[in-house]
């Protein structure tokens, strides 16, 4: 297992959306994202795609805990999401737990919650472990 990886989030989608990783262990990865007009769809609600970005961020970042980051990369292979509740302001938190850690794939269960721990979105993300290119 690799050491914890430090991520430079400047000039990335994490910086753009205000995503902050707040917990980073092999058992659980969590991140927060403010719900502001920047991530709204035209009717003033959080865009479902923003939930998906948050979920894949948790899965991708967490997968680096299981690979050799000097020779491998963790990249999104598949993601699905069920949007269960709308949100127009405040902060959401994504909590991801690995459900399968293999040599070539890592599967995550991610729950996006509001401040009252109500389920906003549930997602499953499969990460592919690929060789790093020079």
- pLDDT tens-digit series, residues 77-133: 999 999 999 999 999 999 999 999 999 999 999 999 999 999 999 999 999 999 998
* Torsion 101-104-109-115 (CA) sign: positive
The one-character DSSP state at 90 is: E
pLDDT reported for residue 2: 41
| Annotated catalytic residue within 3, 23, 27, 56 | 56
Residue owning tokens 């994490």: 14
pLDDT reported for residue 29: 98
The question of whether 56 is a catalytic residue gets the answer: yes
Q: At 16, phi and psi to the nearest 5? A: -60, -40
Mean pLDDT of the residues in the chain: 94
CATH 3.10.350.10 holds for 13-131: no
What are the boundaries of each domain within the chain? 13-131
pTM for the predicted model, two decimal places: 0.92
């Amino acid at each position: 297992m690799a050491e914890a990886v430090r991520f430079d989030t400047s000039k990335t989608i994490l910086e753009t959306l205000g995503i902050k990783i707040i917990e980073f262990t092999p058992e659980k990865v969590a991140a927060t994202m403010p719900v502001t007009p920047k991530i709204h769809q035209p009717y003033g609600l959080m865009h479902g795609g923003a939930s998906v970005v948050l979920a894949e961020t948790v899965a991708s970042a967490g997968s680096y805990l299981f690979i050799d980051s000097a020779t491998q990369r963790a990249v999104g292979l598949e993601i699905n999401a069920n949007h269960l509740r709308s949100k127009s302001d405040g902060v959401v938190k994504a909590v991801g737990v690995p459900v399968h850690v293999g040599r070539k794939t890592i599967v995550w269960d991610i729950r996006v919650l509001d401040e009252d721990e109500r389920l906003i979105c549930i997602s499953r993300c499969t990460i592919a472990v690929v060789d790093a290119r020079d």
